[in-house]
Structure 1
Amino acid sequence: MRPSIQQYGEGQLANRGANPAILRLAVPVPLRRLFDYLPPEGADPAALAPGQRLWVPFGGRKLVAVLVDIVAESPLAELKPALELIDRQPLFDGAGRDFLQWAADYYQAPAGELYAAALPVALRKGKPADHWAEQWLQLTTEGKGLPETALARAPKQQALLQLLLQKGPNSRTQLKALKHSLPVIRALADRGLVEWVAGPTVPPPLPDAEPTPPPALNDEQRQVLEAIDAERFSVSLLEGTTGSGKTEVYLRLMERVLAMGRQALLLVPEIGLTPQTLRRIAARFPERSIAALHSGLADGERAQAWLAAAAGQADIVIGTRSAIFTPLPRLGAVIVDEEHDGSFKQQDGVRYSARDLAAVLGRNAGVPVLLGTATPSLESLHNALSGRYRHLRLRNRAGDARPPEISVVPTLGQQLDEGFAPQSLRHIGETLQRGEQVLVFINRRGYAPALACDDCGWLADCPHCSSKLTMHRRQRHLRCHHCDYRRPLVNSCPQCHSRALSALGGGTERSEELLAQRFADYPVIRVDRDTTASKRALDRLLAPARDGEPCLLLGTQMLAKGHHLPRVTLVVIQDADGGLFSADFRAPERTGQLLEQVAGRAGRGDLAGRVLVQSRYPEHPLLQLLLEKGYGAFARQLLRDRTVAQLPPLRAMALVRAECEEPRWAEEFLQTARAQMEALAPPSPELAYLGPVPALLERKSGRFRFYVQVTAEKRGVLLPLLARLCQWAEGNRNRRLRWAVDMDAQELS
């Protein structure tokens, strides 16, 4: 049901019998309501349908809105007409609109902003969908009546006739990819056997991939697939150790779904994983239409792929988090790879979780949802252990691969060389000499995280954030990794004018410099956001490593996610201590996931792997538990700790956030917000409040940030309370203050 909470404020109901068609639109503005308009002047009411886009006037602007409903009455006395209808056919069907409304209600988000987030940029800006329409070749009535062997004397015409008889209409792009020439098509058209018709777009063509047959499944993989019923809804957590063959399970589930005439949706956390995933899927399903949806595509490419998926023309859709909102009329399965990854949670604007919405999407469509990872999030693990999700396991690595040997390298009191212990450097050299590959993990980019004066103690601070400026020596500048403020690299202290400046700590750039000097005979491939800014840069960088030549891979967590590099036999984790002492209660979980994922890059082929974990605190109990008993025991201990502390996932949590250039205003707003909530629902064992408190990064981009934390035993208590709060907060008239509700918040920063 759609919400009924004062969508239109005060006003007398106006009966518009003379104008029975009133358009109820989702307009992309930060107001949690729909807006009523009259149809565009001269528009045929029969041409209007929910799910279409229209241009509308709003506060002196011209915006693209989505038609959600057509009603006969409005609570407003005077209505403006919409300006122009953009689409002939709806972009969102009823199921898609219901799904978006559910997400808007749950995440306390303006429906208009959610619809805008669901659309690719080109469609969000009002580009007509017909811009990407294609010509499709189909059989005429006479052509459909011919036997398949009717043109045996003209083999090329016969091949095209058979294709259209067996597969139905094909687009011009598809025919070109299958190498059916225009002269052959013209010959059939001259015989009156085929004709061109206008039709939907098809996804942009993918690079050619050599078809590969499926490998044999092991017993564990067969058991997992047998446990998933492709014809009904379920949510399954597939917990599989790194290298255990989770991707093959995904492919077999897709194969089953495609055979049923349905579409498969695969969500991946990073665009860097998309090229290798596309190659593997295209090689397995060379005759299937595959659409990719991620921010690395040009606007036109993304719109073309989105429209193809929404029209049912794409059999497989691969995308990052926003792909969850793509309408899929033949949806048969939803797969979320690396489900634990924080990238699935949007951290600004509409703060949704694509992983959590995947379960809702699967429930609505009645199809299976598969969440795969080697390191389950505590939310998914809790759901699996409590029986809400099915818990499937892959305990062994696929093929002949064996788990890597893990050793701790104590660094406290040692003489380190740019962060590397002598033992680590020795093992790197030995591995390269054997013709194998090494991966070095450092979760800090740049040359050094801080620049300081040795004489007066000056530190290079960001003028806009509560953070230090990171030194990037190659680009000769200091940069804030939070707001992207930059200034030239200084040669003397701006405070005391001393030239005794020191780069404190190390980053990927500094380590690259050392490793290139120490191991000059081998290429050093640095992978971080500075080296992968351009389109398909990550794929190009990793190409030499995939060729198998000895090399050094050096990078941030971008290297920890899903890459299969069978010649990597040594992984060096330079600093394992970063998240063990954080004020964020989720930091130990993320640290454990990251260390396990990075370690899993070693020994994925037929060569044995080894992992060296450098730590100043090797006796830390959580680190010991992780290294000795694995992530499963580590995660269960964290769940026990969360139970004692009454923190998620044992309780539902939301943050009410506020930020302002004047910190007092943000704090006062949140104090009043908390008082409003407590008046409606006083604190109790089932409902608790904390704050206002400063965010871990208190100041960002010149704005001070605070939050109130609200935890509840059940979401059913929390959601209506937050809905009432949003009604009150929308009356806030301080335009310099921003506020937001973050349901199931993942970050305290």
Structure 2
Amino acid sequence: MYHWPAVVVATPAHSGVGDLLSYRSGAALAAGTLVRVPLGAREVLGIVWRCDDAPPEGLAPGQARDVAQVLDALPPLDAGWRELVAFAARYYQRGLGEVALAALPPPLRDLTPEQLARRLKRPAKAAAAEIAPDHERALSPEQAGALAAIDGATAPVLLFGTTGSGKTEVYLQACAHALASETTAQVLVLVPEINLTPQLEERFRARFATVHGHDAVVSLHSGMTPPQRLAAWIAAHTGRARIVLGTRLAVFASLPGLRLIVVDEEHDPSYKSQDGARYSARDLAIYRARVAGARVVLGSATPSLESWHASEQGRYRRLDMPSRIGGGALPRLRLVDMNHQPKGALIAPPLLAAMAERVARGEQCLVLINRRGYAPVLACHACGWKSGCPHCSAYRVFHKLDRTLRCHHCGFTQRVPRACPDCGNLDIEPIGRGTEQVEEQLARLLAEARRPDGGPARVARMDADTTKAKGSLEAQLAALHAGEVDVLVGTQMIAKGHDFRRITLVAAINADASLFASDHRAPERLFALLLQAAGRAGRDAAHSAASELWVQTWHPEHKLFAHLRAHDHPGFAKAELADRQAAAMPPFAHQALLRADARTQEAAQGFLKAASRAAQALPQREAVTLYPAVPLTIQRVANVERAQLLVESDSRAALQRFLTAWQPLLLQARSAPEARGLIRYAVDVDPLSV
């Protein structure tokens, strides 16, 4: 007697293959079982979604191919996990198998049942080094109230705690309570970027390794090797790992005992994927908690406007923690009006003097400029040549240390020319400033500053270039904590999640770029970045009274700075939400982008126009607004032309119905004559930037 499993395999939505493929099996297979099945000439990994006793209607028994292998050494993926994946595929308009298989560790795709069985018998690796245990700390009244509310929560919790208010300790104790509730309970902790939060990972290991074992805490992120990811995934899937700490991909980890989800820095845009299924891990965490019957905590000192709006509506329960641990004061804002500073000054003289004072007292400074390299552009003023990228509609960035011009979009790199390539002028010079130039100039400007021991000020830089090598980030952080650096220059990575005890001054020297950007989310991102950066200062109560945030700006009267001066996120959120509502922008409207990549801009826009024409006949068309196709801001990357079409609706459900009905028409639009040269297309639901 045969059984007929319906199997999902990794086929994208635009392939037209369909979500479920029928196979034949001699044994009944439980839903969620991993199998290897033939697909064309290949044998691929699949997941049994259901198993029928009779063949599908219209399929003759001789037409079905047999399941090749069953990976039955692993327990099946549970119903909650399958429901999460199915929802993500529906909502983000992707193929079911595309989402499901991408959520599994890559090595599973190639392992035979015998290899997997041997892998499961392999003992867990011992911890590389012993970690000093970190014991529970006494909670402040605000922390204790928040913890009690989380323990009894029946709705998503938005933990709105100022920087330094002790949110991490609340997370740790909430995790401890969840693990103590059941012997099989598991916790998922999501962080924006695992490499930027080593202290959080270390604290979780120190707190729980001694209680639950060294393999009870595992990490899941894209920086791990495939074998490491497989080992961590198996530990979570089998229940051996009690806590999974990871980036956005960890939201799809198989956790059969899930009881609590923590999303730290929930406002961070890193939670939204920009490739493949463009999902939001934060939003999926909310859905997953509901499916699993688990509690979910979203934590931030600067909550996203979507989460803030949900808490104002009562859909989330907001818990406020406005006080810093130890009674420390929040940094004072010092605005530097650059209209009154010497022309061409990189660092205003008052700010430079304040930094020298901090160095003399043995304190530390952070300087934030969100642009790496030495200068964004190299230019010839004789003929107007600029260091454009031949493959992208963007400029190559000048990196002085290795004398290269690098495109940060496609990676194309060349040596800096000795003279202008167009006119031969030897006088080519940088325009604008990046972290390299700020580091170099600060070292020169602070040459006379002296530390308490009489030594010169030490300036260092932290960005994607200086933290490439393995262990370099940890080494730089250790040097900063040890007081071996007086002034640290860096990009936004220095503003996230770090607990720097000696920093008393944070300076943002190029904040104006986001004040008047076309992206409606730019002010929100700038406010969050500046408030988060300010939170790195004065975390030690002994120094908090002297802590300051300096912002150099040409527009000191801008309303954003009034809210920043008062550390007034509620006031900023109220004003921004009022502006969004007046403009009918998210969260008061719901959006999706249809993006097209093609060999020419005409083909990209031709596909989008064909898709728009096809949509006019849909019954759901009246519920949405279709905007004209336009090029992306950077319209060419790696010789691929890019365009997009915005779809908007007042109703999330109406937008979803329209997108679902539109999908088969998009497949047909690929064949339109004007779309010849189309490479790919993708639907981006709830885009972060338009």
TM-score computed with the length of structure 1 as normaliser: 0.84
Distance 1:422 1:76 in 2: 79
* Alignment correspondent of 1:118: 103
What is the total number of aligned residue pairs between the two structures?
660
Following superposition, the deviation at residue 324 of structure 1 comes to 0.3
1:676 deviates by 2.6
Q: Is the 8 Å Cα contact of residues 363 and 486 (structure 2) preserved in structure 1?
A: yes
Relative distance call for 1:722 and 1:173 in structure 2 (3 A) is closer
What residue is the counterpart of 2:562 in the other structure?
624
**Structure 2 partner of 1:73:** 55
Give the residue type in structure 2 aligned to 1:695. Answer: L
Deviates more, 1:367-376 or 1:726-735: 726-735
Question: Taking structure 1 as reference, are residues 64 and 682 closer, same or farther at Cα in structure 2, changes over 3 Å only?
Answer: closer
User: How far 1:740 moved relative to its partner?
Assistant: 0.8
Aligned position for 1:722: 659
Does structure 2 conserve the Cα–Cα contact (< 8 Å) formed by 1:28 and 1:65? no
Give me the whole-angstrom Cα distance separating, in 1, the residues matched to 2:243 and 2:459.
Answer: 36
Per the alignment, residue 84 of structure 2 pairs with: 99
Contact 1:688 1:711 survives alignment (8 Å) = yes
Q: 1:338-362: per-residue Cα shift (whole Å, max 9, x none)?
A: 0000000001111000000000010
Q: Is the aligned partner of 1:383 residue 2:370?
A: no
**1:562 is aligned to 2:497:** yes
In the superposition, relative to structure 1, how do residues 473 and 617 fare at CA in structure 2: closer, same or farther (>3 Å)? same
1:654-685 Cα shifts (integer Å, max 9, x gaps): 1111121111121121112222333224765x
Worse-matched range after superposition: 20-29 or 96-105:
20-29
Aligned to 2:595: 657
In structure 1, the residue matched to 2:119 is 132
Shift of 1:517: 3.1
Out of 543, 567, 592, the residue aligned to residue 478 of structure 2 is: 543
Aligned twin of 2:453: none
Deviates more, 1:659-668 or 1:530-539: 530-539
SS at match of 2:341: coil
Residue 276 in 1 paired to residue 199 in 2? yes
Mean CA deviation greater in 632-641 or 372-381: 632-641
Q: CA–CA distance in 2 between the matches of 1:132 and 1:539?
A: 31
Secondary structure of 2:325 counterpart: coil
Match of 1:27 in 2: 10
1:673: which partner in 2? 611
Q: Distance in 1 between matches of 2:224 and 2:620?
A: 49
Q: How far does residue 642 in structure 1 lie from its aligned partner after superposition?
A: 0.5
Which letter does structure 1 place at the counterpart of 2:266?
E
> Against the structure 1 CA distance between its residues 455 and 359, is the aligned structure 2 distance closer, same or farther, given a 3 Å change threshold?
same
Equivalent-residue separation in structure 2 for 1:134 and 1:82 (angstroms): 25
Residue type of the partner of 2:684?
D
Deviations 1:54-73 (A, max 9, x none): 33333444432222222332
Question: 1:55 aligns to what SS in structure 2?
Answer: strand
Given candidates 36, 46, 51, the residue that maps to 2:32 is: 51
Does the 8 Å contact 1:21/1:45 carry over to 2? no
Q: Does 1:463 align with 2:450?
A: no
Answer whether contact 2:598 2:604 (CA < 8 A) is retained. yes
Q: Which one of the candidate residues 237, 240, 254 is aligned to 2:161?
A: 240
Following superposition of structure 1 onto structure 2, how do residues 292-691 of structure 1 map, counting pairs within 5 Å?
292-412=219-339, 414-415=341-342, 419-519=346-446, 521-549=456-484, 551-606=486-541, 607-608=543-544, 609-628=547-566, 630-681=568-619, 687-691=624-628
Hey, what's the Cα distance between the residues in 2 that align with 1:460 and 1:305? 44
Deviation at 1:274, TM superposition (A): 4.2
Contact 2:161–2:301 (Cα < 8 Å) also in 1: yes
Matching of residues 254-273 of structure 1 within 5 Å: 254-261=175-182, 262-273=185-196
What one-letter code is carried by the residue in structure 2 that aligns with 1:95? G
Task: Find the aligned partners of 1:68 and 1:351 in 2 and give their Cα distance.
Answer: 23
Structure 2, unpaired ranges of 5+: 448-455
RMSD: 2.1
SS at match of 2:586: coil
The residue type equivalent to 1:602 in the other structure is A
Larger Rg: 1
Distance 2:252 2:377 in 1: 40
Q: Is the 8 A contact 1:24 1:69 kept in 2?
A: yes
Cα deviation 1:105-130 (Å, max 9, x = unaligned): 11111112212221122224447543
Q: Which ranges of structure 1 fall in alignment gaps of 5 or more residues?
A: 1-17, 136-171, 178-204
Contact 2:590 2:686 in 1 (8 A): yes
Provide the rounded CA distance (Å) in 2 between the counterparts of 1:497 and 1:93: 67
Q: Which residue of 2 aligns with 1:745?
A: 687
AA matched with 2:189: L
TM-score calculated relative to the size of structure 2: 0.91
Distance 2:560 2:371 in 1: 22
**Contact map agreement 2:334 2:549 (CA 8 A) in 1:** yes
Question: % of aligned pairs identical?
Answer: 40
How far is the alpha carbon of 1:626 from its aligned partner? Answer: 3.0
Does structure 2 retain, via aligned residues, the 8 Å contact 1:416–1:422?
Answer: no
- The verdict on how the C-alpha distance between 1:724 and 1:711 changes in structure 2, with shifts beyond 3 A counting, is same
Counterpart Cα distance in 2 of 1:661 and 1:596: 42
Amino acid at match of 1:709: L
| Maintained 8 Å contact 2:531/2:567 | no
C-alpha change, 1:131 and 1:702, in structure 2 (3 Å) is farther
Distance (Å, rounded) in 1 between the aligned partners of 2:191 and 2:371 = 23
Q: Can you list the C-alpha shifts for 1:495-547, whole angstroms capped at 9, x where unaligned?
A: 10111101001101111112233445233231111111233432221001122
Q: Residues 96 and 629 from structure 1, CA distance in 2 versus in 1: closer, same or farther, beyond 3 angstroms? A: closer
More deviation in 310-319 or 522-531? 522-531
| Aligned residue identity for 2:33 | Q
Distance 1:706 1:101, change over 3 A: same
Q: Secondary structure at the match of 1:369?
A: strand
